[in-house]
C-alpha cells in the first residue's frame, strides 16, 4: 500500500478555479468603516452578546445527514456532527475525525487512522466501532434514505484496531475521500441511532462544537455550545436559525439587530447594506448551478427539439441581471466552472426565432401550456415570473406554482422508488444544485443518471441516456484522473445536447453580518461554516 496523506490526496480545486476565469476566482469583500465601538462602549450599550441569530431564506428539512437533499440542512448538520473529512472555505479537503489514510493503487481499499479522545455529545466514544456503525448505515441501500446512493460502492468495513478502520469498495472509486467529506457522511452517535431509529432526524447527536437544542419547523432551530468539544468550546453559547423567505424582512432583521448574520443577501439590497458601517457584506464564487428540469417522459418535453427550443428562448444574461442583479454568470455546463472535471459546452444563445422554429418542427407552432414549480422565496418568485414572461414570447403559457420548500420536496420526491416519470406530477421544476463533494460525480450522477430518478435522487427530468450512463460508470471505475476527465467530458456534452434541463446560471454566494461577530462564512457549495465564528473583542 502506498501511503498518502490528506494534503497530498485531496482533490484540490485550484485548476478548476483557473478554468472558471478570474471573475470566478476572486473573493470580494465590501469595505466598511474601521470605526467600531470599544469593548467597554459595546458592553455599556449591551451590544456584545454570546447568543446569535442567523436568518436564512428557507427552512431546514431534516437533521439526518443521510436523508437531507438540501445544502442548507447539510451546513447546519456540520455544526453538530463531523465526518472523517470536511472542507475548508475553498472546498479543499481537511481531516476531521480521521487523522490520515492509506489507499491501494486502484482505489478499492482505504484504511483510516481515527482521531483519539473524541466523544459524541451524549458521552459515547468515537472509535472504530462507532465509525463502522455509521459506514454500514451509509452503505445500506434498503434504508431508502436520500443520500444512501452516495455510498453504494462500500462493500465491507473492517476494524483493524480501536482507532483504525479499513473500507473495501466493490469497484474503484477515486472520489471516495471527497465523498466522505460530504455532509451525508457525518457521524451520528450509535447510541442515538439505537434510541431514536428513524426519528434521529429530530434528535441529531454528533461530535461537533454545537449540540442540538430545539426545533420548531417554520419558526426556528436552536443549537447550543458543546462545552466538551474536542477542539475547544465555541464563543457563541447558542445559535438560533430563523427561516425568513421574504428578502426585505431578512435584510431589515440584520439592520435592526434582530439577526446577526443573513444568507443569502438579496442582490437588489446589497448596495443599501454596503452603506451601513455596522455591517459587512461578502461575496464568494459558488459551485451552485441553477436550472429548470423538464419531465422528459411527458409531452411535449419528450421531444429534444422542444427542450432545446426553451433553452434558446431564455435570455440568461438578462436572467442573471434581473434575478441576481448581476451576481451570477450564465451556465456553460451542468457543472459549475470550479468543480473538478468541469468542461465548457457551446452555449444556447438567446434566439427567439430559433426557438420558434424548433417548436414548429416539433409540432408546436403555437406553443403549449405547462406548469412550473419552485420554492416561495422572493428570489424564486422573481425568477419564475421572468421565465413565464420569456416563454410567453414563443407561445408557451407557464402556470407558476410557488410553494413552501417542505411541500415542494414532498411533491418532487413523494413517490415510491421506481415510479415512472409519466406518473409524476412534475412538468417543469426550478432547482439549484451544489455538488458538495467538489467532484464531477456528484454534480452529474444525481441529476441525470437513469438510476437517480426521484425519490432516489434529483433527476426530476427523468432523463435516461445510455451514453451518459456509460460515461458516468466509466468515470467511477477508475482512479486515474485523466481517464475520469475523459469520461466526464463525454457525459457533460451528452446531457448538454439532450437538454433535459433549461440551463440558467451559476450564482455567487452573498452573505452579510453584524460587525460584532466574525469568522462565519459560506463555502463554495453554499453551506454555512460556523467553525471559525467568534465575537469581535
The pLDDT tens digits of the residues spanning 168-191 come to 999 888 789 989 999 999 999 999
Q: Is the dihedral of CA 178, 181, 187, 193 positive or negative?
A: negative
pLDDT score for 37: 35
What's the mean pLDDT when you consider all of the chain?
A: 88
Q: Of 507 and 319, which is predicted with more confidence?
A: 319
392-447 pLDDT per residue, tens: 999 999 999 999 988 998 999 888 888 999 999 999 999 999 888 888 998 999 99
- pLDDT at site 30: 33
pLDDT of residue 16: 28
d(CA 132, CA 139): 10
Strand partners, 402: 374
Beta-carbon contacts of residue 80 (< 8 Å; ≥ 6 apart):
63, 121, 204, 205, 206, 208, 210, 211, 212, 223
Please state the length of the chain.
537
In 3D, which of 486, 508, 471 has the Cα closest to residue 328?
508
> What average pLDDT score do residues 311-337 get?
95
Cβ within 8 Å of residue 209, ≥6 positions away: 79, 225, 226, 229, 231, 232, 233, 234, 530, 531
pLDDT at 15 exceeding the cut of 70: no
Residues 6+ apart with CB under 8 A from 141: 148, 149, 152
Question: Cα 395 vs. chain centroid, distance in angstroms?
Answer: 34
pLDDT band at 49 (very low <50, low <70, confident <90, very high): low
- Nearest partner of 146 among 424, 432, 448, 415, judged by Cα: 415
**Mean pLDDT computed over 290-314:** 98
User: Which pLDDT band, with edges at 50, 70 and 90, does 284 fall under?
Assistant: confident
User: What pLDDT was estimated at residue 456?
Assistant: 85
pLDDT tens string 229-274: 999 999 999 999 999 989 899 999 999 999 999 999 988 888 889 8
The yes-or-no verdict on residue 33 having pLDDT over 80 is no
Instruction: Place 14 in a pLDDT band, splitting at 50, 70 and 90.
Output: very low
Mean pLDDT over residues 334-339, rounded?
92
**Domain 289-507 part of CATH 3.10.105.10:** yes
Domain limits, the chain: 289-507
**For 449-502, what is each residue's pLDDT tens digit?**
999 999 888 999 999 999 999 999 888 877 788 988 999 999 999 999 999 999
Antiparallel, parallel or unpaired: β 397-403 and 369-375: parallel
Instruction: For residue 428, give the nearest of 276, 269, 314, 294 by alpha carbon.
Output: 294
- Tens of pLDDT, residue by residue over 87-104, are 887 788 899 999 999 999
Dist CA 333 CA 330 (whole Å): 9
Amino acid at each position: 500500500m502506498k501511503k498518502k496523506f490528506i494534503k497530498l490526496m485531496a482533490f484540490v480545486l485550484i485548476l478548476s478555479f483557473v478554468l472558471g476565469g478570474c471573475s470566478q476566482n476572486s473573493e470580494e469583500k465590501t469595505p466598511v468603516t474601521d470605526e467600531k465601538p470599544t469593548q467597554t462602549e459595546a458592553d455599556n450599550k449591551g451590544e456584545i452578546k454570546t447568543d446569535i441569530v442567523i436568518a436564512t431564506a428557507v427552512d431546514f428539512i431534516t437533521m439526518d445527514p443521510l436523508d437531507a437533499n438540501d445544502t442548507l440542512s447539510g451546513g447546519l448538520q456540520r455544526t453538530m456532527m463531523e465526518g472523517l473529512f470536511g472542507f475548508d472555505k475553498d472546498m479543499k479537503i481537511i481531516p476531521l475525525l480521521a487523522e490520515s489514510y492509506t489507499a491501494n493503487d486502484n482505489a478499492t481499499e482505504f484504511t483510516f487512522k481515527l482521531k483519539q479522545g473524541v466523544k459524541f455529545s451524549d458521552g459515547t466514544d468515537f472509535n472504530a466501532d462507532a465509525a463502522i456503525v455509521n459506514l454500514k448505515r451509509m452503505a445500506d441501500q434498503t434504508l431508502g434514505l436520500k443520500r444512501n446512493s452516495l455510498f453504494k460502492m462500500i462493500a465491507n468495513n473492517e476494524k483493524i484496531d480501536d482507532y483504525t478502520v479499513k473500507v473495501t469498495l466493490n469497484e474503484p472509486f477515486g472520489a471516495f475521500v471527497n465523498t466522505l467529506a460530504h455532509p451525508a457522511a457525518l457521524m451520528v452517535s450509535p447510541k442515538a441511532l439505537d434510541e431514536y431509529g428513524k426519528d434521529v432526524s429530530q434528535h441529531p447527536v454528533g461530535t461537533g462544537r454545537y449540540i442540538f437544542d430545539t426545533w420548531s419547523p417554520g419558526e426556528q432551530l436552536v443549537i447550543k455550545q458543546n462545552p466538551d468539544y474536542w477542539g475547544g468550546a465555541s464563543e457563541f453559547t447558542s445559535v438560533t436559525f430563523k427561516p425568513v423567505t421574504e428578502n426585505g424582512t431578512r435584510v431589515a432583521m440584520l439592520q435592526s439587530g434582530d439577526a446577526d448574520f443573513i444568507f443569502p443577501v438579496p442582490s437588489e439590497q446589497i448596495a443599501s447594506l454596503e452603506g451601513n458601517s455596522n455591517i459587512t457584506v461578502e461575496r464568494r464564487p459558488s459551485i451552485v448551478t441553477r436550472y429548470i428540469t423538464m419531465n422528459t417522459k411527458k409531452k411535449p418535453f419528450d421531444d429534444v427539439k422542444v427542450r432545446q427550443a426553451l433553452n434558446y428562448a431564455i435570455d440568461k444574461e438578462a436572467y442573471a441581471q434581473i434575478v441576481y442583479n448581476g451576481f451570477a454568470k450564465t451556465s456553460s455546463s451542468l457543472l459549475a466552472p470550479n468543480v473538478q472535471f468541469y468542461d465548457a459546452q457551446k452555449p444556447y444563445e438567446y434566439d427567439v426565432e430559433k426557438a420558434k422554429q424548433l417548436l414548429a418542427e416539433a409540432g408546436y407552432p403555437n406553443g403549449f401550456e405547462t406548469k412550473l414549480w419552485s420554492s416561495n422565496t422572493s428570489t424564486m418568485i422573481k425568477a419564475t415570473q421572468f421565465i413565464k414572461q420569456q416563454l410567453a414570447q414563443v407561445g408557451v403559457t407557464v402556470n407558476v406554482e410557488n410553494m413552501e420548500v417542505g411541500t415542494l420536496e414532498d411533491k418532487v420526491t413523494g413517490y415510491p422508488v421506481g415510479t415512472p416519470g409519466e406518473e409524476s406530477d412534475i412538468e417543469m421544476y426550478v432547482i439549484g444544485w451544489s455538488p458538495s463533494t467538489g467532484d464531477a460525480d456528484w454534480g452529474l450522477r444525481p441529476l441525470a443518471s437513469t438510476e437517480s430518478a426521484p425519490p432516489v435522487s434529483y433527476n426530476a427530468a427523468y432523463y435516461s441516456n445510455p451514453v451518459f450512463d456509460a460515461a458516468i460508470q466509466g468515470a467511477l471505475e477508475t482512479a486515474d484522473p485523466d481517464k475520469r476527465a475523459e469520461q466526464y467530458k463525454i457525459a457533460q456534452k451528452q446531457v448538454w445536447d439532450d437538454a433535459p434541463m433549461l440551463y440558467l446560471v451559476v450564482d455567487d454566494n452573498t452573505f452579510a453580518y453584524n460587525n460584532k461577530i466574525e469568522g462565519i462564512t459560506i463555502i463554495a457549495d453554499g453551506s454555512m461554516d460556523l467553525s471559525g465564528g467568534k465575537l469581535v473583542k
